Amino acid sequence: MTMNNAGGRRKPPTIHDVAREAGVSRGTVSRVLNGGHYVSPTAQEAVNAAIRRTGYVVNRHARSLITGRSDSVGFLLTEPQERFFEDPNFNILLRGCTQALAAHDIPLLLMLAGTEDERRRIARYITAGHVDGVLLVSSHSGDPVAEELCAAGVPLVACGKPIGLGSKVSYVAADDRDGARDMVRHLLSLGRRRIGVVTGPLDTPGGVERLAGYREVLAEAGVDFDERLVVSGDYSRASGEAGAERLLAQAPDLDAVFVASDLMAQGVLAALRRAGLRVPDDIAVGGFDDSPAAVAATPALTTIRQPWDRISNEMVRVLLAQIGGEDTAAVILPTELVKREST
């Protein structure tokens, strides 16, 4: 009768205990644990039974010590944390990545590099090999931590195209440009011709690409580009409000606005309401993101959905491939137009 350590929270069983229980050697147990190649069905069976009986769980520290892998990855958020932490997309991304990793039994370590101190600490932590790879969220350009990690050869996958990192870094992103094109085409199809745009920050790839899509479609449609129809924001609600006011002042004949984020679009709606304009009758408004803000807005926003669940899944897939030694490239995923009441 084996003493199942019922009761006193004591030493957990080791691979040795399992081996003894199953009547095989440590090596065989280890082989079963790692894929089960070169193990007879008999032994396999015996080991699995012994594992179940003893409640054995592998000691990851011991394993990591010898393999050199940590079997964990970091989720690194640098720069302006406030922006991200208030962004619902960030949540969805974080959740998606955590779950995708969980499916591989890989824990996610959350790393926030706000201050210079934290940056250094985290960079050391990562380069010391305490994680096998990094999922990077940092829309901003020229991130010093990211550069250091790249230089050190740490597997790294960014969310969105990182500016200013060598072009060799892998990333996963929604097709911002194509999403913008869809939205502007949609506005054109409604008969609108004086289409304004509130862009995102133009030092981020998302901001740049969405504006580019806007210009492309207008050019295709033979609509002249009018720079009075372009104002730039920073994705915040307030900047959307200010942007709409500027647009109305510069181009009173405006009949539609493409806003590069839902949050800004909320601000735009507020400004338009204040100006006495009806949406969508007088003026159509298109957002970007399909965040909760889009449904909460009155009227509910027509917007561009970014495939966040696919993005997180792809980020994890690409990162694991990279950790496995494969060469990986950028992944661009399609967006989707979600039609609601504001257009």
Partner DNA sequence: CATGCTGCTGTGAGCGTTCACATGATCAAG
Partner DNA sequence: CTTGATCATGTGAACGCTCACAGCAGCATG
**Residue ranges binding its own copies (CB under 8 A):** 9, 12, 57, 59-62, 64-65, 70, 72, 75, 81, 85-86, 88, 91-92, 94-95, 98-99, 102, 105, 107-112, 114, 118, 121, 124-125, 128-130, 152-153, 237, 266, 270, 292, 296, 298
* Residue 103 found at the interface with DNA (CB under 7 A): no
Which one of its own copies, DNA, none interacts with residue 283, CB within 5 to 8 A by kind?
none
Q: What is the rounded distance in angstroms from the CA atom of residue 125 to the CA atom of residue 121?
A: 6
Residue with smaller CB distance to DNA, 5 or 40: 40
Shortest CB 341 distance to its own copies, Å: 15
33: Cβ–Cβ under 8 A, 6 or more apart, which residues?
15, 58
User: Which spans in the chain are helix H?
Assistant: 15-22, 26-33, 41-54, 60-67, 81-85, 88-102, 116-127, 144-152, 176-189, 205-220, 237-250, 262-274, 292-296, 308-323
Q: What is the rounded distance in angstroms from the CA atom of residue 312 to the CA atom of residue 55?
A: 33
The C-alpha R_g of the chain, in whole angstroms, comes to: 26
Shortest CB 84 distance to its own copies, Å: 9
Helix (H) or strand (E) holding 174: strand 170-174
Question: Which stretch in 16-24, 81-89, 296-304, 321-329 sits in contact with DNA by CB under 7 A?
Answer: 16-24
Q: Name which position in 2, 4, 27, 80 contacts DNA (CB under 7 A).
A: 27
Shortest CB 5 distance to its own copies, Å: 11
Residue with smaller CB distance to DNA, 55 or 80: 55
Q: Are strands 256-259 and 284-286 parallel, antiparallel or unpaired?
A: parallel
Give the closest residue to 143 by CA, choosing from 170, 123, 172, 129: 123
Residue with smaller CB distance to DNA, 6 or 38: 38
Q: At what angle do helices 15-22 and 41-54 cross, to 10 degrees?
A: 120
Q: Name which position in 2, 5, 16, 80 contacts DNA (CB under 7 A).
A: 16
Shortest CB 96 distance to its own copies, Å: 10
**Cα within 13 Å of Cα(89), Cβ side:** 25
Which one of DNA, its own copies, none interacts with residue 34, CB within 5 to 8 A by kind?
DNA
* Residue 130 found at the interface with DNA (CB under 7 A): no
Residue with smaller CB distance to its own copies, 186 or 237: 237
Residue 245 exposed, middle or buried by CB count within 10 Å (0-12, 13-18, 19+): middle
| Distance, CA of 314 to chain centre | 9
Residue with smaller CB distance to DNA, 24 or 184: 24
CB-CB contact of 139 with 160 (8 Å): yes
* Residue 15 found at the interface with DNA (CB under 7 A): yes
Question: Using CB under 7 A, which residues numbered 43 to 72 contact DNA?
Answer: 43, 56, 58-59, 62-63, 65-67
* Residue 5 found at the interface with DNA (CB under 7 A): no
Which one of its own copies, DNA, none interacts with residue 2, CB within 5 to 8 A by kind?
none
**Cα within 13 Å of Cα(258), Cβ side:** 31
Buried residues in 153-171 as b, exposed as e (16+ CB within 10 A)? ebbbbbbbbbeebeeebbb
Residue with smaller CB distance to DNA, 21 or 87: 21
Residue with smaller CB distance to DNA, 15 or 248: 15
Which chain residues interact with DNA by CB under 7 A? 11, 14-16, 23-31, 33-34, 38-40, 42-43, 56, 58-59, 62-63, 65-67
